[in-house]
Amino acid sequence: MENELTVKEAMLLVLDKSPQEFERMKALFKRTSDAFDMADDQGGLQLISDEVFPVIRSLAEFCSSIFDYHLSILGEEVGFEFCEKLKRLNTLLTELAEETSNGNFTEVGDILRFDMFDFITDLEGFFPKIRKCFEESNDQKLDIK
């Protein structure tokens, strides 16, 4: 097959597209939070199940795969910082799921509007560090197509 990307090329491509995805997530969090603020609990719940949880799970899976398979590429300092961010993401996901299942929609809206929004903004600022690690790595496992 022609035009197959190496692991490194694919990773850099995804990381380069991440700013648009982060903006999309932040807009989604705001839209969902707004629905709860306007007492449109049904609309908010629909957004949570159809869009919010899938996008956060997808982000968590992507980040976990970087951590699980490419920790050596990140190095100790970036790897440790990334580990802390992953823990925070998992905590937020758990809080969001618990508050949603308990019907605490005001809290759900606040988690999305403040905690998740701030976390995504922080992660967005961190991704260039991850990108640099991949870009500068000479690890041969990244050359696999």
Q: Quote the pLDDT of residue 87.
A: 96
Q: Quote the pLDDT of residue 2.
A: 54
In whole angstroms, how far apart are CA 109 and each of 57, 88, 101? 18, 18, 13
Contact 121, 38 (CB under 8 A): no
Q: Quote the pLDDT of residue 75.
A: 94
**Mean pLDDT to the nearest integer, 90-112:** 95
Q: Quote the pLDDT of residue 40.
A: 96
What predicted TM-score, i.e. pTM, was given to this entire model? 0.90
Domain locations in the chain as residue ranges = 36-138
Q: How far apart are CA 88 and CA 128, in angstroms?
A: 19
